Structure 1
Amino acid sequence: MIAHLRGRLLLKTPGRVIVEAGGVGYEVTISIPTFTALPAEGAEVALHIYTQVREDLLALFGFLALDEKRLFERLITVSGVGPKLAVTILSGLSPERTVAAIRGQDHATLTRIPGVGKKLAERLVVELKDKLEDMAAAPAPAPAGPAAEDVLSALVNLGYQRPAAQKAIETAIAKKPAAGESFDELFRMALQVIR
């Protein structure tokens, strides 16, 4: 089994990289947080790897952070969660927020992730809430004003990735704290940051 891969980053796109190691290019599926933390193409990169082997498939899933890989491995133990959906979950929420949502039985946060419905959110909570004690859960971020959740929802509906949208909102509020009170103002400022 391939558990770790170090080599030159030949190609990176959201969701996929190709890493050359020993003259072989390995295609690896990645999450959005891993993608945003990757160095530039041509640089050396080291990824923690989960290898999926089926009779018709050999697929690699890569993570820069070991904690993200460990959470991925827990997620795929849940009935109905395969590796691709686990990557989608990790792309929709940071590992800390995912752990916090599962341990806090926060179905609403989990169902905001594409592909996670009410039943799957309940299953994630039931099957994992007692298996994540060794993973630190960050406290849920305090709302940054009444408009922040609405602006986040609007940006995600426009096609922006949730982590990028959250960061844009946080940046906008850091620049002007009063913006968190007004949907229009916060939305405009967040759009300027995210572009």
Structure 2
Amino acid sequence: MIGRLQGVIVEKQAPELLLDVNGVGYEIQAPISTFAMLGKAGSQATLYTHLAIREDAHQLYGFSDKAQRTLFRTLIKVSGVGPKLALAILSGMDVNAFALCVHNEDVSALTKLPGVGKKTAERLIVEMRDRLKEWQAPAPLWAAADQADRAVQDNMLLEAESALIALGYKPQDAAKMLNKVAAEADSSEDLIRLALKSTLGQ
């Protein structure tokens, strides 16, 4: 089992990055929250990893800390939750905020995460409740809730920025466009639409 990798980032395009470890390139998928903590291509990075072995492929998943990896491993044990959905959950909410939502049975907050419907949120609460008993939020409940909202907002901005870059905008221009309209949007789609509308002057 490959549990930890340290090397140089060769390529970085969410949700995948290529990490050079002593001349060997590892393709790793990671949540947006981990991408946000990584430097640019050419910089050093250390990731805690999980190796998933299937008949048709071996896939590495990377995380900025052990808590993220532990939650990922716990999530993929839940019925109907695979690695892709687990990465989406970790992209939109940090470990303590997720534990708080489960503890408070906050279905509404969980359904804000990409790919999580009401039934999935309810199943997550039921199956994760006992598994997360030992997780303690390090801040007051209101602070953790605010942190969850900020994580969702950050994920929206990253998704919108990636879409604008794919349309041909430079990263710095995309960031400026989104900052102007961030307060007016409730989703990444709204961000993209408002940013383009602002640029076109309509």
Q: For this structure pair, what is the TM-score category when the shorter chain's length is used for normalisation?
A: 0.7 to 0.9
Superposed CA RMSD: 3.1
**Which residue of the partner structure matches residue 6 of structure 2?**
6
Deviates more, 1:131-140 or 1:1-10: 131-140
Q: Determine helix, strand or coil for the equivalent of 1:89.
A: helix
**Which residue of the partner structure matches residue 136 of structure 1?**
136
**Which residue of the partner structure matches residue 17 of structure 1?**
17
CA distance in 2, matches of 1:10, 1:125: 38
Q: Does 1:53 align with 2:50?
A: no
Shift of residue 99 of structure 1?
Answer: 1.1
Query: Gaps (5+ residues) in structure 2?
Result: 162-180, 186-190, 196-202
**Which residue of the partner structure matches residue 91 of structure 1?**
91
CA distance in 2, matches of 1:142, 1:126: 21
1:22 and 1:89, CA in 2 relative to 1: closer, same or farther beyond 3 A? same
Shift of residue 134 of structure 1?
Answer: 2.2
Shift of residue 143 of structure 1?
Answer: 8.0
What is the aligned-residue identity percentage?
Answer: 37
Q: Does 1:41 align with 2:38?
A: no
2:97 and 2:144 in contact (8 A); partners too: no
Q: Deviations over 1:40-83 (max 9, x none)?
A: 22122110001000110100000011111111111111000011
Shift of residue 90 of structure 1?
Answer: 0.6
4+ residue segments displaced more than 4 Å: none
1:143 and 1:130, CA in 2 relative to 1: closer, same or farther beyond 3 A? closer
2:72 and 2:86 in contact (8 A); partners too: yes
Shift of residue 140 of structure 1?
Answer: 4.0
CA distance in 2, matches of 1:65, 1:87: 14
Q: Determine helix, strand or coil for the equivalent of 2:133.
A: coil
Q: Does 1:30 align with 2:27?
A: no
Q: Determine helix, strand or coil for the equivalent of 1:160.
A: helix
In the superposition, the TM-score normalised over structure 2's length comes to 0.70
CA distance in 1, matches of 2:131, 2:60: 24
**Which residue of the partner structure matches residue 157 of structure 2?**
160
Shift of residue 85 of structure 1?
Answer: 0.6
CA distance in 1, matches of 2:17, 2:135: 27
Q: Does 1:106 align with 2:134?
A: no
